[in-house]
């Protein structure tokens, strides 16, 4: 059975939803984006980072890095450039 994790402590929710945590999440994603983009073919748009407020855990910050074109998709598929960029 899967149970939902619910943050009931207001102080904890305040921390995970803070601008400081947003900055940490965003900085980490920026590093992943930069490392992945260092290994893409010339002419590719590469990968792009996005940071948003999610809909779970009280709206905590999340970031993700996505491909912007087929060349970036191929670079991940063939050489795992994005996967390797995640430390």
- Residue 4, pLDDT above cutoff 90: no
61: in domain? yes
2: in domain? no
26: in domain? yes
Tens of pLDDT, residue by residue over 10-32, are 788 788 888 999 999 999 999 99
1: in domain? no
4: in domain? no
71 touches 22 (CB < 8 A): no
User: What's this model's pTM, rounded to 2 decimal places?
Assistant: 0.82
When the pLDDT of each residue in the chain is averaged and rounded to a whole number, the result is 90
Domain with 42 in it: 10-85
56: in domain? yes
32: in domain? yes
15: in domain? yes
Average pLDDT over residues 51-57: 82
Query: Exposed/middle/buried for 44, CB within 10 Å: 0-12, 13-18, 19+?
Result: middle
- Structural domains in the chain (count): 1
Dihedral sign (CA 47, 48, 54, 55)? negative
> Which residues, at least 6 apart from 35, have a Cβ–Cβ distance to it below 8 Å?
84, 85, 87
Nearest to 86 by CA among 49, 45, 43: 49
């Amino acid at each position: 059975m899967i149970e939902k994790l619910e943050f009931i402590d207001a102080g904890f929710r305040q921390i995970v939803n803070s601008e400081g945590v947003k900055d940490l999440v965003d900085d980490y994603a920026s590093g992943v984006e930069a490392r992945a983009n260092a290994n893409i073919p010339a002419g590719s748009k590469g990968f792009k980072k996005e940071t948003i407020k999610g809909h779970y855990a009280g709206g905590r910050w999340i970031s993700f890095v996505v491909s912007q074109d087929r060349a970036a998709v191929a670079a991940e598929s063939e050489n795992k450039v994005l996967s390797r960029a995640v430390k």
